Structure 1
Amino acid sequence: MGSSTATSTVTEIVLPGKVEPEGLQITTRDLPAPAAGQVVLGMEATGVSFAEQQMRRGKYFDQPPFPFVPGYDVVGTVLATGPGVDRALIGQRFAAVTKVGGWASALVLDAVDLVPVPDGVAPAAAETVVVNGLTAWQMLHRKAAVQPGGIIVVLGANGGVGSTLVQLARHSGIRVIGTASPWHHAALREQGVTPIDYNDPEMYRRIREFAPDGVDAVFDHVGGPGIVESWRLLRRGGTLVSYGSAATKNVEGNAKLPVLKMFPRLMMWNYLPNGKSAQFYNLWDGQRRIEAYRLRQREDLTQVLQLLADGALTPQIAAEFPLSQTGSALALAESRTVAGKVVIVPDPPRS
């Protein structure tokens, strides 16, 4: 495929409504030729993030109406270019954050949103740090700005974002207390993390024992009532970064409500005279100034991919599934038994 009007057939995984993972649908359609400024990217790896787990329940903050193709990020090779795009991109590997649409054998994207994947980095390895790496990098270095020698708490330190956050923090000389179920504790200790059982009713008291003077930052994707305890762990000058509401993932009702309820409380805490700050992290913040936003995303993701290429980050691949088995991939990711990212790859070609 060159920059022509040719179409090709694409296989997509559609989320038809609020269904169990096995309710995902496999469809095929013609993929239109890329328009001006666009490319066709052949998917080599996509994955399951917490966002899709929320979308399945209709609980993700600003998901599109059903039916749609999920897939928050993608790694692949450019197959075709539209008018005004350098044809030299064809055959090169890129990563992109898509929010939706990644669960497909190929997709049309704006060329400006592509970030080059360094030579020698495998697609599945790169996939583990696209949305997770970007999220972790920005929370650690842009939101909380934790300095070397600091100490942080990562809730869910074995998850997709959590495991990347742990590695970035340790690489920067930051001490980490991480919560996870006991079967992940040995692996966390190997990374220099102090593990705490997140099922322990005394979890917050246990964290305080390891950091009696408070911590520099808490990264909390759980939300709900426990967010108050996360706030109390901070020392003066510390930052709470809230980036989700996993505690309410099974609660029926408006998907935006848990976040909207939490937001005023976080903002109010910023006015208390204790030097602490509370931030809400959303990957899509700042899109009103789209050029600056795109530059920042490209800059940060380039840094993370380079750390991966340099061996400073180890890709945490929980499992790989072919695209046609995305339902099984989603079910495994939701089982809370895995460390790292569940990755989706193309189906093998039919012989």
Structure 2
Amino acid sequence: MQAWLCENPVGVDALSWKELPTPEPGAGEVLIEIQAASLNFPDLLIVQNKYQMKPPLPFVPGSEYAGVVRAVGEGVTHLQVGQNVACLSGTGGFSTHTLAPAGLCMPLPPGFPPVDAAAFIMIYATSQHALVDRAQLKAGETVLVLGAAGGVGTAAIQLAKAAGARVIAAASSDDKCALCRQLGADETINYSVHTPQTTLRDEIKRLTGGKGPDVIYDPVGGDFAEPAFRSIAWRGRYLVVGFASGPIPSLPLNLSLLKGASIVGVFWGDFAKREPKANAQMMQTLATMYMKGQIKPVIDQTLPMKDLPKAYAIMGSRSVKGKLVLVN
């Protein structure tokens, strides 16, 4: 097998494409021949030693991938050799083969292409857990999605529309706003024009008739958090999804009191571990929605697996719409 190996987590430049022995699966594991792997923001942080999970060195990055089961370990009964699966295991994806815990593998229905499958779990599981489970989104409510042209943002638009919500999508360019409208957003905000320091709050107020959004989906953090939260509706729910802009914001808690609003943490990874049955049901729901054509990952582009450094550079430029996927 071949893999991108991180022997020293000082950044992307330290990764090397190496030939390694193909491993045998242990108890509870499967060997997957990887067809496609997507690039997520944590994949950048982990090779910079900035992610909360710090795998033992050396390791192969790549948190999310899809492929074919080539061998099963002892005790694995729900997966068979030759079966197509998707997996989000945190590491191992930027390679030709990897070992994965069988319990983390999502069996794929026939007709689910590997490129879409590799870009599916993280964005849709996060967004469905956020909007439906944590925010209890109801039909007719208004959702403001920040960072709406990124992976989780594009998923949030589709899932919010499927739930019957009105969606306001905020993104950083006219091109990205146009994509959001194609995905079903009812209104868009270009926040390079309506910046957090100037008219972002005014534009949110205008688009909601002064009421404010019922739910704010925030994977961005930084300077966007406080003006967005100040704009929230009475009994609104502010979903803390991530901090793609870098800084972790501080919010004055009196704002929560004044609006009767909730600040709601979204940690899908721990939800999946702590509530595996609920997560499995949710993943089945999402797979069914995909097969019915209700949701579909936005793929910015696909690149050969050997072009991983180029993919990292593209992601770092913040020009990506949806997901980047690497293929073998």
TM-score (structure 1 length as normaliser): 0.84
* 1:149 matches 2:131: no
What secondary structure does 1:170 align onto? helix
Q: Deviation of residue 147 (structure 1)?
A: 0.6
Q: Deviation of residue 27 (structure 1)?
A: 1.8
What secondary structure does 1:45 align onto? strand
Which structure 2 residues correspond to residues 21-40 of structure 1 after superposition, within 5 A? 21-40=12-31
Residues matched between the structures, number = 321
Change (3 A) 1:281 1:270: farther
Which structure 2 residues correspond to residues 178-197 of structure 1 after superposition, within 5 A? 178-180=169-171, 181-193=173-185, 194-197=187-190
Which structure 2 residues correspond to residues 1-351 of structure 1 after superposition, within 5 A? 10-17=1-8, 19=10, 21-64=12-55, 67-86=58-77, 89-180=80-171, 181-193=173-185, 194-200=187-193, 201=195, 202-211=199-208, 212-248=210-246, 258=248, 262=250, 265=251, 268=253, 272=257, 274-286=259-271, 290=273, 292-346=274-328
Gapped regions of structure 2 (runs ≥ 5): none
Q: Deviation of residue 20 (structure 1)?
A: 5.2
Q: Deviation of residue 65 (structure 1)?
A: 5.7
- CA distance in 2 between partners of 1:333 and 1:76 (Å): 23
Letter in 2 for 1:197: N
The question of whether the paired residues in 2 share the 8 Å contact of 1:21 and 1:328 is answered with no
What secondary structure does 1:219 align onto? strand
Q: Percent identity?
A: 28
- CA distance in 2 between partners of 1:236 and 1:223 (Å): 21
Letter in 1 for 2:234: R
Change (3 A) 1:109 1:20: closer
The question of whether the paired residues in 1 share the 8 Å contact of 2:181 and 2:188 is answered with yes
- CA distance in 1 between partners of 2:175 and 2:78 (Å): 49
- CA distance in 2 between partners of 1:88 and 1:72 (Å): 20
What secondary structure does 2:302 align onto? strand
Letter in 2 for 1:192: G
